[in-house]
Amino acid sequence: MHKPHRILIVENHALLRAGMRALISSDPALEVVADLGNAHDAIAALRTLTPDLILMDISMPGISGIEAVIDIKKRYPAIRIIIVTVHRADEYIHSSLRAGADGYLLKDATHEELHVAIRSVLSGKAYLSPDVSADVIQRYLSVGRVEHQTPLRSLTHRERQVLKLIAEGHTNKYIADYFALSVKTVEKHRSNLMQKLDMHNASALTAFAIENGLLGHEHREMH
């Protein structure tokens, strides 16, 4: 018989912790190794607990669940993590997934949904609550439909490349050398960017680049 998968529950509310422990413990293939009330204690306990999966709340005193995911994934990349939360807003979902979470489950999920999420993530798949995934897909499609009208669409490929390097804090000279252009040409690109985006300094350009995800791409995409 296979050893049960080891589960760590990290949840701010004791009643919810007890409820999740009871639900999970009803499955002989799963073992709750601990349930803890904050991320700080959870991170400290990982040296000895060695869980296969962590169920992680977002809103906790001290270290937030998202901060904890970043820390844990750096130190223990093999540990799978499902965010379990009341938050349905896009920014929480995107922040959790960017941090490295393997799943996102709403606290109003059913017993069956909890077990599906756990089994999916333990098998190496990602999991999003059905309500959340439907919302995310719908918003993504909506953004896609209006993308042609966004300022980003007005930029040429080279202007996007230059914008990315400006946002990373590089000088005109560095950008010119990087693309084998003259400094004057880079200055022209910078001027065009500011005119098209109606922005007047590098800080505004940087904020725009971050909001539009341009800093998530590697330099190799710009060659």
Examine the domain organization and report whether 106 and 59 are in the same domain. Answer: yes
Instruction: Give the CATH number, domain containing residue 179.
Output: 1.10.10.10
**Model pLDDT, residue 93:** 83
Domain boundary among 71, 106, 141: 141
Question: How high is the pLDDT of residue 117?
Answer: 94
Domain assignment of residue 194, given as a range: 150-222
Same domain, 173 and 129: no
Q: What is the pLDDT of residues 93-145, one digit of tens each?
A: 878 887 889 999 999 999 999 999 999 999 988 888 887 766 665 655 555 44
pTM metric for this prediction: 0.63
Q: Which residues of the chain have pLDDT under 50?
A: 144-149, 216-223
Strand partners, 10: 36, 56
